[in-house]
Structure 1
Amino acid sequence: MKKIYTAVVLAAMTSSVFAQGDLGDTDRKSLRDKGEAKTDSGKVWTKGGVFQLNFTQVQLTNWAAGGLSSVSGIAQANAFANKRKGRIAWDNSIALAYGLLAQEGKKTFKSDDRWELNSRYGYQMKGPWYASAMLQVRSQFTEGFDANADTVKISNFMAPGYLLFGLGVDWKPNEHFSLFLSPATAKITFVMDQDLADAGAYGVDPAVYEVDTLGNPVRKVTAGKNSLFQFGAFLNATYQTDVAKNISFMTKLDLFSNYLKEPQNIDVNWEMLWTFKVNDWFAATLGTQLIYDNDIDIAWKEGSVQHYGPTTQFKETLGVGLTFKF
């Protein structure tokens, strides 16, 4: 099933790229002008970013239909710094997000928590083809707890944390789309919270315990490992465009197949973001993220049947708030 929807996604994205075609001369000149405005000693850099702050509040007093008063907020920031000089293309980006949800009489939970750094250095071989190296680091800021058992910790800073480094080729047919394919990528999963590492969370080897005659653990013999090394193939596809004057769209797809164990179980991280701009300071955003990782075990229900194991994760966020560009 994963292979099917992955193929569909790639086909749809590729067809969109060819339909978009190359930028016109006017657009290319505009892009060059933006880069040259920040030229330093012949090195052309294009830099920018956006900060968004979204709030939602519900207040109920003697409400006959029932419900809970709540307040939530999400802060997001995205920035980039890209260099173009001769045959060199160096792209760098950072994405940050943190959100909280507070409901009357309940513990405050996170609604979003992530940070991600990406860097890709390429040397143009011919036309839109580049020989490239890619580095990606991502994790979260604070502890995460099970929504159904708010004292059970399930994640923390760098638990999990991911580091990927790969060598491959990058195809950039226009300013909207890029496709990076690496047949040689190292992926390291970090679990730096020892409680989670001892439990074997996120695929690391769990702790080994000495047990009594009843099978109860009495002493930890070996601590759980804090990392998991994988080696395989990695694909990254990104596409962004202005659909209309005040509507922009961005999508990013990451796929990873581990050569060392069950390569048919492909890790998927697919994000989409729509931005509907009202004016220079106010915008609405709609974002989705789909994740599948065969090393992450999750408790979930299918009807009345309880399951525990890898499954598809999905997140959708709709926000209205302030937007600041820099």
Structure 2
Amino acid sequence: MRQQFYFLLTLLLLGVSIGNAQIYDLDELRRKPDSNSLKVERPELDIRPVTLPVSALDLQVIYWRHWSSFGINANQASFSENWQSGGVNSISVGALINHKSDYTRNNTNFVTELNLQYGKMKNRDQLPRKNNDRIFWDNKLSLRIAKHWSLFTSLTFESQFDIGYHYGVSSSGQDSITGVRSNFMAPGYLTESLGIEYKPDNTFSLRIGTGTARQTFVWDDNVVPTAGDGSRYGVEPGRRFRNDLAFQLTANLDRNIGQNLNLKSRYNMFANYEELNDPAHRLDATLIASVTRLINVSLTGILVYDSRQHTDIQTSQTLALGLLYKIPK
């Protein structure tokens, strides 16, 4: 009985303890660390200007661009002594040097272009003859006033290197020289022009020179016209100089019309204000097909009409295989 009593008393005390017990949330029993448990000292900011060394790059803007080309062309034909279809042995060699410089800054543009050409041919039983001879130097300064329009002034020089002869047949039937028709500065042309230029892109330009003056020189005594010859190249007999005031049109085209195919042409019309009904015309056109970086085939044509030189149209055509080296490549 005593054991049962103690057992009941224990149960009673346990029930009272459970009834008086509090229910605790475990999250509330977790101790949160003190946020200020570690002291962090904030340093005082010390800001001072620092000068960094800068290297001197010496950068410069280059406003000039340059292009040059050097070429040599050759043609040759030979026939055996018993060749029945006809023909004559011949050989021709020509050389050319072209240079162009362009200065562009803001609306100002200056272009200088030099074109030097010389070539000779030799046919069997004939004296050597020139087949190409030209000095051409063009300088133009322009100021852009609209998107495609500019005011320009230009200075152009034209002449040739070597003597041009008249040829005939001697009494013995041999090819011979009968006279001199031209030489360096006989004729020579110096042209100053002022006007407006239309240039829609870098491949085409048209100059309209409303104020143009051209001086014609004949400095070779063998070419200076005499009283019995009449005027020559527009220069009156006994004189070496002529000055003209004229209207001038000049069109330039330099365009790639296909892969490795370039067309370059220049047309010039010169009309003396006293002779507007009889202007002079000159058209130079060159078609170049590049076979490799150095080898090319060129077709060149020249058409000239100038009544001071001849009353008929003058033409020249050349087809050649040659080497052409360009800078830059």
TM superposition score category, shorter chain reference: 0.7 to 0.9
Which of these residues, 189, 208, 212, is aligned with residue 216 of structure 2? Answer: 189
Taking structure 2 as the reference length, the TM-score comes to 0.75
Which structure: larger Rg?
A: 2
1:41 to partner: Cα distance: 4.6
Structure 2: tracts of 5 or more residues without a match: 1-58, 170-176
Identify the residue that residue 295 of structure 1 maps to in structure 2.
308
Partners of 2:244 and 2:62 lie apart in 1 by: 36
Partners of 2:61 and 2:280 lie apart in 1 by: 41
> 1:259-270 counterparts in 2 under 5 A?
259-260=273-274, 262-270=275-283
Letter in 2 for 1:202: Y
Partners of 1:282 and 1:78 lie apart in 2 by: 17
1:154 to partner: Cα distance: 0.6
Identify the residue that residue 155 of structure 2 maps to in structure 1.
135
1:148 to partner: Cα distance: 4.1
Identify the residue that residue 268 of structure 2 maps to in structure 1.
254
C-alpha root-mean-square deviation of aligned residues, in Å? 1.4
Summarize deviations over 1:267-314 as a string: whole Å, max 9, x none: 1011111010011110000111111112113xxxxxxxxxxxx21111
- Aligned-residue sequence identity (percent) comes to 27
Identify the residue that residue 119 of structure 2 maps to in structure 1.
99
Which of these residues, 41, 65, 75, is aligned with residue 56 of structure 1? Answer: 75
Taking structure 1 as the reference length, the TM-score comes to 0.76
Partners of 1:67 and 1:176 lie apart in 2 by: 42
Structure 1: tracts of 5 or more residues without a match: 1-39, 207-223, 298-309
1:171 to partner: Cα distance: 1.1
Summarize deviations over 1:185-231 as a string: whole Å, max 9, x none: 0011111112211333212111xxxxxxxxxxxxxxxxx11111110
Letter in 2 for 1:257: A
**Contact 1:269/1:291 (8 A) holds in 2:** yes
Letter in 1 for 2:284: E
Letter in 1 for 2:307: N
Partners of 1:68 and 1:86 lie apart in 2 by: 58
Partners of 1:134 and 1:162 lie apart in 2 by: 14
Identify the residue that residue 324 of structure 1 maps to in structure 2.
325
**Contact 1:43/1:85 (8 A) holds in 2:** no
User: Given the alignment of the two structures, is residue 118 of structure 1 paired with residue 145 of structure 2, yes or no?
Assistant: no
> 1:9-24 counterparts in 2 under 5 A?
none
Looking at secondary structure, tell me which structure has more strand per residue.
1
Partners of 2:113 and 2:194 lie apart in 1 by: 18
**Contact 1:190/1:227 (8 A) holds in 2:** yes
Identify the residue that residue 225 of structure 1 maps to in structure 2.
239
Q: Give SS of 2:223's match.
A: helix
Partners of 1:129 and 1:161 lie apart in 2 by: 31
Q: Which moved more, 1:40-49 or 1:131-140?
A: 40-49
Give the total of aligned pairs: 257
Identify the residue that residue 316 of structure 2 maps to in structure 1.
315
Identify the residue that residue 37 of structure 1 maps to in structure 2.
none
1:147 to partner: Cα distance: 4.0
1:50 to partner: Cα distance: 1.5
1:151 to partner: Cα distance: 2.2
Letter in 2 for 1:198: P
Q: Give SS of 2:312's match.
A: coil
